[in-house]
Amino acid sequence: MSGTARDDAVPGAVPAPSTGPDRRNVLRLGAVGIGLGALLAACGKGNGIGGSTAASSSSSGLPAAPAVANAADAKKFSGSTVATDIPGFGTELATTQQLAKQFEAETGVKIKAIPLPKSTSDAYAADQRLLASGQSSPDVLLVDLIYPPALASYLLDLKGHLTEAEIALTYPNLIAVNTIDSRLVAYPWYGGFGRLYYRTDLLQKYGYTKPPATWTELTTMAAKIQAGEQQANKAFSGYVFQGNAYEGLTCNALEWVASYNGGTFIDGNTVSVDNPNAIAALKLAQGWIGKIAQTSVTTFTEDEAHSAFGAGNAAFMRNWEYAQDLQKGSEVAGKFSVAPLPAGDVKGGTTAAAAGGWAVAINKNSKNQDAAVEWLKYLTSPAAQAYRAVNSSDVPAQPGVAAMSEVQAALPALKEQVIPFARPTQIGAKYNEASTVIFQAVNAMLRGSPVEAGVKKMAADLRELIA
């Protein structure tokens, strides 16, 4: 791995609220002044948000995907098949299928779509196994931004396949995250931050005028709303989040701990989690179970939280930007809004959002690399990113796309600034093992095991791992 430069460039690597150039870059995902005109000139194609020609709209009700700007190059591989990861659920799956359909129609290249498991940890384990055994398929992989150091040696260097101009469209810090030992091993696709979703109608019903600024306020508000709503609806929870033992829980726990000014588990080269603020944050979360969250939340990924909130069964939800897709046709459409996650109620407490995101990579052993590159170029093109932003609420990895008025209108949360915190990815290829230590320990705490002892053991295990 390439060390310091990349670590510094990870969004939010410095516990906030400082404002280095990289940090600002990510903070202002929506506020970048590149006009729509400039972006369209760069795409060279209509508005790129659907309604284009070759593939008709699908049964999913989505508009047709944008035209394939690189169709002429891609047609050279007509008749070949590209096996590709695609997102595993929700509107993200549907918009990506729609892009695949468009690409097939315009290029004659077949897309064999492989939906990823719901949990990024499961997706990583599967990719890791398959790449390590030298498999040539899938040709195209989706890579969570925490995994490039571990997977880099199995992935094609995209420099030389993408132009400097294409690379320059993306936020530089996302390029940095995916650059390992000077090799660009994946091209950024979308990003996102942890957000608080809240029911505007229920806040009003229970006498609240604004979302909670601190976790203590959230706990009080959620308890009151849950007590009222459960009288008619036993399935109702005050708060839903990602409590299962997987990467999503590491993100939630990072937000709790960082918001309590308790660090990011490992800061620099030092395991930092064994401190009173981190313990206070984890005790707070443990106290939610059975009070404002049902015990089943300890098995929730993003998808279960999204379903519960979307069905009207929760007052508050922690999720990524893409959950704004619930504004389209769900039970809670028009009845919720998005806010920064609450701050810890301590000195130095702050709102804290885990930084997340995905990139597209090509298997070094793919027998179909040139066709795979063409699919990657279309999937990550400004037009396709805009299509996904508008139709499945995915935050573009390119400032020019984020600045488009259609994208801003579709993703109101883009306008709000967040204070992002990176997961401790500075430890490189061992990150997944460290995260496993963290999420298993925190999941056990949510299920009732003592917090102080759990934190001590977690810290010892992390120290051993990074020694």
| Minimum separation from the CB atom of position 218 to ligand GLC (A) | 21
The one among 142, 146, 185, 401 contacting ligand GLC by CB under 6 A: 146
What is the smallest separation between the CB atom of 349 and ligand GLC, expressed in angstroms?
24
Place of tokens 């508050």: 316
Binders in 323-352 for ligand GLC, by CB under 6 A: none
- Give the nearest distance from C-beta 194 to ligand GLC in angstroms: 9
Closest residue to ligand GLC in the complex (CB): 356
Which residue in this structure is represented by tokens 């015990």? 295
Q: Does 149 bind ligand GLC (CB under 6 A)?
A: no
Nearer to ligand GLC, 190 or 208 (CB): 190
Q: What are phi and psi of 274, to 5 degrees?
A: -80, 75
Binding-residue pattern over the window 237 to 276 for ligand GLC, x denoting contact by CB under 6 A: ----------xx--x-------------------------
User: Residue 40, interface with ligand GLC (CB under 6 A)?
Assistant: no
* Span interacting with ligand GLC, options 142-150, 166-174, 175-183, 389-397, rule CB under 6 A: 142-150
439 binds ligand GLC (CB under 6 A): no
Q: What is the 3-state secondary structure (H, E, C) of 99-123?
A: HHHHHHHHHCCEEEEEECCCCHHHH
Pairing type for strands 195-199 and 187-193 reads unpaired
Residue 71 or 174: which CB sits closer to ligand GLC? Answer: 174
What's the per-residue H, E or C state across 250-270?
Answer: HHHHHHHHHHCCCCCCEECCE
Stretch binding ligand GLC (CB under 6 A), from 211-219, 263-271, 288-296, 353-361: 353-361
Asked whether position 192 contacts ligand GLC by CB under 6 A, the answer is yes
CB of residue 309 to ligand GLC, shortest distance in Å: 16
Q: How far is CA 14 from CA 20, 29, 106, 352, 452, in A?
A: 9, 18, 45, 12, 26
Judged by CB under 6 A, the residue of 358, 387, 431, 439 near ligand GLC is 358
Q: How far is the CB of 467 from ligand GLC (least distance, A)?
A: 25
Shortest Cβ 446–ligand GLC spacing (Å): 16
Q: Which is nearer to ligand GLC, 146 or 292 (CB)?
A: 146
Burial 9-21 (b: 16+ CB within 10 A, else e): bbbbbebbeeeee
Query: Which C-beta is closer to ligand GLC: that of 274 or that of 302?
Result: 302
Instruction: Confirm if 286 and 446 have CB atoms less than 8 A apart.
Output: yes
Q: What number of other Cβ atoms are within 10 A of residue 80's Cβ?
A: 18
Comparing CA positions, the residue from 398, 384, 407 lying closest to residue 169 is 398
Residue from 356, 396, 420, 454 binding ligand GLC (CB under 6 A): 356
Q: How far is the CB of 251 from ligand GLC (least distance, A)?
A: 5
From 211, 344, 357, 382, residue interacting with ligand GLC (rule: CB under 6 A): 357
**Measured distance CA(464)–CA(331) in Å, rounded:** 47
Long-range contacts from 344-347, C-beta under 8 angstroms, 24+ separation: 344/214, 344/215, 344/256, 344/259, 344/260, 344/261, 344/262, 344/277, 344/280, 344/281, 345/214, 345/215, 345/216, 346/260, 346/261, 346/277, 346/280, 347/261
| Peptide bond before residue 17 is cis, with ω within 30 degrees of 0 | yes
Of the candidates 111, 145, 360, 389, which one interacts with ligand GLC according to CB under 6 A? 145
Q: Residue numbers of the site for ligand GLC (CB under 6 A)?
A: 120, 144-146, 192, 247-248, 251, 302, 320, 356-358
